[in-house]
Amino acid sequence: MNRRIRIAALALSLSASSGLLPALAQTDDPAPQPSAAQSEQTIRRLQTIKSVLEDRREQVRALLEQLAVADELSKAKIREQITELQQRIRELTDSFERTASNGVNLRNLDETEDKKFDWHQELALIARPVIDGLKSATEKPRRIAELQTSISLYRQQLEATRKALEALSQLEQQDIPTEVAGGVAEVGASWRQRNTEIEQSLIAAQEELKFLETAESRMFETVGSAVYEFILGRGLTLVLALIAGIVLWYLMRALRRLVRSRRQSVPDRQQAARIRLLAYGYHLLTIVLVAFAVLSVFYLRGDVLLLSLAIIALVMLALGVWRFLPGYVREARLLLNAGAAREGERVIYNGLPYRIASLNLYSELRNPELEGTVRLPLATLSQLISRPAGEEDWFPCSVGDYLLLPDGSFAQVLQQSVERVQLKVVGSILQYSSAEFLQLNARNLTREGFGIIANFGIDYRHQSIALDQVPERLKSGLIDAFRQADLEQDLKSLVVDFSAAATNSLDYLIYATMDGRCAASYFAIQRMIQQTCVDVCNRENWTIPFAQVTIHQGG
């Protein structure tokens, strides 16, 4: 029952405010004069509301008379009915007033007494213009859908009341006892009253739906005026706020460039950290001033909706900043070069050593031996720990170096970057990831230099000169061979010494220490040593033994 009366009361309040936005009521222009058809519809709605209002007042008077003679058990129920009817009367009275005054209502403009500050309530007041704007934008289609649902419900209720009245009519036509007839008469009167109320509510809902559907057809006529009002009102406010923000932003940038152009000296690392912090502080100040300028435009223009939206956005931004404040503190320490990772020091990232080349929003990590640069955000860099670089190597090889791999392969470095290392092995190209290559523990012949070990043996018939003449002449021949091969400058040391008296030969150990510049001749030097030893034996007529097999024949 209460729902039906509220629908009838809201029917006229929404019909009077069928425009796009309620902001049009703030202007001082006179309201447009309604047409004759609109006036007839308004009078018809007023008549419907007045009829329903008089019926409710008559019901209240009847209930008051019943209350005077009712017993204590019935008084509570009658008072509840009276309270409900009084609420309906107030709603119908408000609806009648709004309909007659074309939707104008001063209730929202009444002065209110000062109340105790409640931040929940104040926050709700800030967000209320946004919610009201959304409700206003979707009010008409939502209202049409509600009315269509209510009309369908009213028709179902009318069908139910019709069946109930038919059953009661058939019961009244029969011979029933007197004590039962009174109760049946009361039930019949109640159902007839309900049927009348439902019919009135159905008529009010149909009238409102018809009015809203008619207003939908006239909506396109008001689009032009609404767009014009938006351009001169909220649209102009947005444009002014945008202009104010952009102008202030470029002024602050111009001031920063002017200060930077006046600074001539190159700062050291500590000064650079302070200058960097001042730069970010200046950026923050610029953002605050731009936000203040935009809010000032909204405030001076008196646009509560845009001001509320901007304040809500700033509050959400502030809450997000507060949540990530510990991370921002760590990043600020990095910018001051006072964090765990410092500019110019050595840091390990993804298994590779890097030098922190610069600290910024995106810091740069570089390895002097590797091509490319790694850019890391401050949040990632804050998780790393650096240390002074010292004299350590940044990578075990450089481009062009010759390597001896763990499997004995001889390789040359063709390219190395922060992602991969490319090697040439026996005419083929092999690629490793930089971190994987670092785990190979390859031997760098170019950077570290290398040594070559060779063994050579002569026959036992030369045993008398094996400890003096043979080592001396082998060493002399090897030095001449290195000189002829233009490797004398690369030969650091040469050792030729008697090693062991083997089964078939007198063996000598030859060890040559070479500079890394001749790493490309690693295998050629090994062959040259063996060739030279054979050449010396040929010149000196020394016999080179070979493996012998002795066969013992039994008797």
Cβ atoms of 220 and 197 within 8 Å: the answer is no
527 pLDDT band, cuts 50/70/90, is very high
- Does residue 2 surpass a pLDDT of 70? no
Q: What is the pLDDT of residue 335?
A: 74
Pairing of strands 362-366, 374-377: antiparallel
pTM of the model: 0.47
DSSP state of 232: I
Q: What is the pLDDT of residue 279?
A: 74
How many helices (H) and strands (E) are present in the chain, helices listed first? Answer: 15, 12
**Token pair 């503190």 in the structure block, residue:** 329
- Does residue 545 surpass a pLDDT of 70? yes
Q: What is the pLDDT of residue 479?
A: 92
The one-letter code for the residue type at 114 is: D
Greater confidence (162 vs 22) lies with 162
Q: pLDDT for 178-215, tens place per residue?
A: 656 666 677 777 788 888 888 888 888 787 777 767 66
**Highest mean pLDDT, choosing among 92-101, 304-313, 526-535:** 526-535
Query: Is residue 411 within a helix (H) or strand (E), and if so which, with residue range?
Result: strand 410-416
**Alpha-carbon gap, residue 314 to 268, rounded angstroms:** 38
Q: pLDDT for 404-439, tens place per residue?
A: 888 888 899 999 998 999 999 888 888 899 888 988
Cβ within 8 Å of residue 415, ≥6 positions away: 371, 399, 421, 422
Query: Is residue 534 within a helix (H) or strand (E), and if so which, with residue range?
Result: helix 522-540
Mean pLDDT of 71-93: 81
Rg over alpha carbons for the chain, rounded to the nearest Å, is 51
DSSP assignment of 340-366, as one string? SS-TTSEEEETTEEEEEEE-SSEEEEE
Greater confidence (166 vs 32) lies with 166
Q: What is the pLDDT of residue 22?
A: 34
- Does residue 331 surpass a pLDDT of 60? yes
Q: What is the pLDDT of residue 269?
A: 55
10-14, 234-238, 369-373: the lowest-pLDDT one: 10-14
The mean predicted confidence, pLDDT, of the chain is: 77
Token pair for residue 200?
A: 């009135």
9 pLDDT band, cuts 50/70/90, is very low
Q: What is the pLDDT of residue 264?
A: 55
Neighbour order of strands in the sheet with 362-366:
346-349, 352-358, 362-366, 374-377
Q: What is the pLDDT of residue 126?
A: 57
Token pair for residue 289?
A: 């001033």
Task: Report the Cα 537 to chain-centroid distance in Å.
Answer: 80
Handedness of CA 444, 445, 449, 452 (dihedral sign): positive
Mean pLDDT of 267-279: 63
Mean pLDDT of 523-544: 91
Cβ atoms of 505 and 545 within 8 Å: the answer is yes
pLDDT above 70: percentage of residues in the chain: 74
Q: pLDDT for 97-125, tens place per residue?
A: 766 665 555 554 444 444 555 656 655 66
Token pair for residue 92?
A: 């119908």
